[in-house]
Structure 1
């Protein structure tokens, strides 16, 4: 079994070298790119386990790229950025990133975050990639939801993590703290707002009435509860 592949997209040569060296010393394979066009071309033949993406790119808007990676590729994305404002972090998480690391950083922290993300991704049995609930089929191997007519709606890796959490714990209250512990990331306003956005998007994709959702209920002051009947496999 080959080592996990981590791609690095950053226009600073020193950052690419530092991360490549640290990750390879930790046992990962790496591919590093200075431009988004080179990175996107490589994705036609490579399937990375983790994508490290800088937001300040010379040839493409980083946030747009993150959203496309998360939604169309179903990729696990960790943003590495010098943008330290809370709003940038929230926006990145809202657009589908799985984590956000602010520059300057210790490369050991990046290695630890990559390992933690891979542990969470591998913790779910690979045999449980399809779930049926209330007329929907969620295909976690392809990151799409299929309705009764066969029409498919894509979801991002980050949205898929939230959906899987609900489907694995139907009809049970899931607190904000439990979500943070299950999905990772630092607790706080940015995590809470990112979760709110992801849940809102899932409700929209499930064609829920935002004023009276049937499946994903908000229990104010406590958390969320998924009311569907779920069958895996």
Structure 2
């Protein structure tokens, strides 16, 4: 049983340390890896990093509450999210998926129930039709991964394969700074020698192709001496 979930890391954002530890213990019994935060301040950044595969968010958290985290995450990720709540008045909003949560559990709860809900969500995702198109949207840019198409303000944009992979890499983790070396590794699958100037040239081309008007502004930002980020 443990090997089934050994490749899944669950982020637990829960300010009550005893509850967090109980969830860690029960998830670990089924092989899940876990990471714990006791407040909401860094939760979005951790999810953006791509280091976790599932998030359990308490509704009431110091610094940033669970609903705010969920809403922000849904702007860039479809990571499964299970909410923990003791506030009955919030349940209708959670059920209606107003904030994009996949499910919720009311406090007080059984740790076994939480683990069961996590497994159910994972199974549901795994059994969804595989031919469903994978589409990424960020501001006025949309990438259809399966069809290898890019749209800017609903206008189809012609990207080269390298430009497409480069934009895809940036879109997957908006706000995260990518070094030029990292982008070279992500965008070139072979062992060819590529200079940093080549990446700069690709970025320049992508910017020109995605440009709509001054109101939308620049999406890809250069970080001096480091690399680029999408924001």
| TM-score band w.r.t. shorter chain | 0.5 to 0.7
Shift of 1:43: 2.8
Q: 2:87 aligns with which of 57, 73, 83?
A: 83
Aligned-residue RMSD, C-alpha = 2.8
Q: Is the 8 A contact 1:5 1:49 kept in 2?
A: yes
In the alignment, structure 1 residue 17 sits paired with structure 2 residue 24: no
Which whole-Å deviations, capped at 9, do the CAs of 1:35-61 have from their partners, x for residues lacking one? 112323323433422110011111013
- C-alpha distance in structure 1 between counterparts of 2:56 and 2:85, whole Å: 10
* Alpha carbons of structure 1 residues 128 and 109: separation in structure 2 relative to 1, 3 Å: same
| Within-5 A mapping of 1:1-233 | 2-85=6-89, 88-92=90-94, 93-124=97-128, 126=130, 128-130=132-134, 139=144, 148-150=154-156
Which whole-Å deviations, capped at 9, do the CAs of 1:190-209 have from their partners, x for residues lacking one? xxxxxxxxxxxxxxxxxxxx
Q: Is the 8 A contact 1:78 1:97 kept in 2?
A: yes
| TM-score, with length taken from structure 1 | 0.53
Shift of 1:33: 0.5
2:169 — aligned with what? none
* Alpha carbons of structure 1 residues 94 and 138: separation in structure 2 relative to 1, 3 Å: farther
Unaligned runs of 5+ in 2: 136-141, 158-231
Q: Which has the higher contact order (CA 8 A, sep 6+)?
A: 1
Task: Give 1 or 2 for the bigger CA radius of gyration.
Answer: 2
- C-alpha distance in structure 2 between counterparts of 1:79 and 1:96, whole Å: 10
Q: Is the 8 A contact 2:44 2:69 kept in 1?
A: no
| TM-score, with length taken from structure 2 | 0.54
Q: Tell me, what secondary structure is at the counterpart of 1:37? A: coil
2:182 — aligned with what? none
- C-alpha distance in structure 2 between counterparts of 1:41 and 1:97, whole Å: 18
Unaligned runs of 5+ in 1: 132-136, 152-233
- C-alpha distance in structure 1 between counterparts of 2:144 and 2:91, whole Å: 28
